[in-house]
Structure 1
Amino acid sequence: MLYSLIMSMAMAFAFTLPLMFTPVTLGVWIFLLALMTASLVTFFTSSWFGLILFIIYVGGMLVMFSYFVATAPNQKLSLILPFSLFLLIFMISFLLFLSNPSLLFLSPSLMAPSIHNSFAFLYLPKNIPSLIFLASLLLLALILVVKVASRKAGPLRPFN
């Protein structure tokens, strides 16, 4: 039941995402969609993977959100149409998932705990080179981002 509730909310957030016009509502909608997606990932894998996915996703969203808010003009918020459509899609998908649970893509292989579902297979001795490669790739990305960022450029929009 909880899985169908979260899946319905994620579908409703995803389908009503194009209706958001202001950066604030778009940021909140994407944040809630990320929360629902991380919850769904937590159901099928270990909880730390869902948490790390959520933290990485929110970190990237903060950068994009600050950029869009700094460059976009202020607009009036209108949530009546998107919220009513969200409720409609949520109710329809929730009732659909409750009436036909086979639509939830729940298979015994996904629900059974195994070494492949918990991502413990990354730490097996045969996978150590790929783990070292991923860590070095992250370090390289960090170095390149620090190298590209410039303090002298100043803010995105000067406040006069």
Structure 2
Amino acid sequence: MILMMYLILMTTSTMMLYLSTTPIMLGINILTMALLLSASLATSMSSWYAFLVFLIYIGGMLVMFAYFLALSPNQQMPTTSNMVYMLLTLATLTVVAITTSTKIYIPQEMYQDNMYLYSMSTAPILIMLALILLLTMVIVVKLTSRSKGPLRPFN
């Protein structure tokens, strides 16, 4: 039942990505999704693994959103006209979760071998992901110029 509630909250949070109009709201939404993902990993696998996934995910995403916030102009937060849609979606998904008795099957293999992510066979993938993050950071820095955009000059 707990995993079903996490799944409902993740689905609602994913649907709310389309209603977010400012980078700050997108950042808050992604932070919520990362927290829900780590909570579901903590209940199904290991809390240490969930903590590591949360730190890695948030570290990378906050760096990216810091660059986007520095590039975008200062905007006013919109009124809560989308709040009705969000509450309606959350209420519908909650009713569906309560009325159905669907069990989420978690295989026994998920409880074992948490270190397969950091084995020698997956090292090239991890290095590639780190290089993509580095390349994205360099591209964003090169695209920004101090004379254009909302970046404040250093005095």
Match of 1:53 in 2: 53
The 3-state SS of whatever aligns with 2:119 is: helix
Structure 1: which 5+ runs fail to align? 124-129
**1: distance between equivalents of 2:12 and 2:131?**
38
TM-score (norm 2): 0.74
Match of 1:93 in 2: 93
2:64–2:137 CA contact under 8 A, matched in 1: no
1:69 CA displacement: 0.3
Match of 1:82 in 2: 82
Match of 2:35 in 1: 35
Q: Equivalent residues in 2 for 1:7-156 (5 A)?
A: 7-102=7-102, 105-107=103-105, 110=106, 114=108, 116-120=109-113, 122=115, 131-135=119-123, 138=126, 156=144
1:16 CA displacement: 1.3
Percent identity of equivalent pairs = 23
Which of the pair has more CA radius of gyration? 1
The 3-state SS of whatever aligns with 2:111 is: coil
Structure 2: which 5+ runs fail to align? 147-151
2:3–2:104 CA contact under 8 A, matched in 1: no
> 1:30/1:156 Cα in 2 relative to 1: closer, same or farther (>3 Å)?
same
TM-score (norm 1): 0.72
**1: distance between equivalents of 2:131 and 2:22?**
33
**2: distance between equivalents of 1:32 and 1:67?**
20
Deviation digits for residues 27-82 of structure 1 (CA, Å, limit 9, x no counterpart): 00111011112222223222222222211110111111011101001111025133
1:11–1:90 CA contact under 8 A, matched in 2: no
Deviation digits for residues 71-124 of structure 1 (CA, Å, limit 9, x no counterpart): 00111102513333222111110111110021xx512xx1x6x3x21242746x
Match of 1:127 in 2: none
Aligned partner letter, 2:110: N
Aligned partner letter, 1:118: Y
**1: distance between equivalents of 2:92 and 2:135?**
49
